[in-house]
Structure 1
Amino acid sequence: MSDTLQTVGRMIQEVIGDDWDLDQAITMETSFGDDLELESIEFVSLAEALKDEYGAEVDFVGWLSTKDLDEIIKLKVGDVVEFIDLCRSSS
């Protein structure tokens, strides 16, 4: 498991809090909609956590704003991990 995936997975667990299913592993294929059932307020919390962790280097909100609703619904953890890794490698 990559460091980025571990970090994002930890953030997701913190954002979901008590509703987290301890038996559910977060992988690159885990979807925010179907698997995690992340609500919009949880997306906002995740965006804040990503900003705190990576700073302006990773503009998650800007990246997310380029997506249409269907893309956001189908978004997977791996999409976010790949975006973060791309941002970090190009800076």
Structure 2
Amino acid sequence: MTTTPAPRADEAAVLTELTEALHHVLPEIGFEDTPVTMDTRFVEDLDLESIDLVTLTGELGRRYGGHVDFPGFFASLELPEIIGLTVGQVVRYIAGRLR
């Protein structure tokens, strides 16, 4: 019986995965002009709309499976927190869930 290994939990690996997911679901964003870092804000810096965040969440859910509860994570945030959400916050959440 083959089991799927758990994704890597270190923040650098998660940041790479998140950046790849952004490229996959939002290819029209020019990341050359706006590099994705831990401080990058989804709404303010990348101009993501709520539907983009939903699409990104779906892609990350596909990549991480049951290891990470994205609906629960977003449900725990207030609207101003979602608007100010940074890549680093999501990376730390994912890495913490994978440990």
TM-score by length of 2: 0.83
1:34 correspondence with 2:44: yes
TM-score by length of 1: 0.90
Greater helix share, structure number? 1
Runs of 4+ in 1 over 3 A off after TM superposition: none
Q: Give 1:58's match in structure 2, choosing from 60, 68, 73.
A: 68
Gaps in structure 1 of 5+ consecutive residues: none
* Residues in 1 aligned to 2:70 and 2:33: alpha-carbon distance in whole angstroms: 27
Match of residue 17 from structure 1 = 27
Gaps in structure 2 of 5+ consecutive residues: 1-10
Q: Which has the larger radius of gyration?
A: 2
* Residues in 2 aligned to 1:15 and 1:81: alpha-carbon distance in whole angstroms: 17
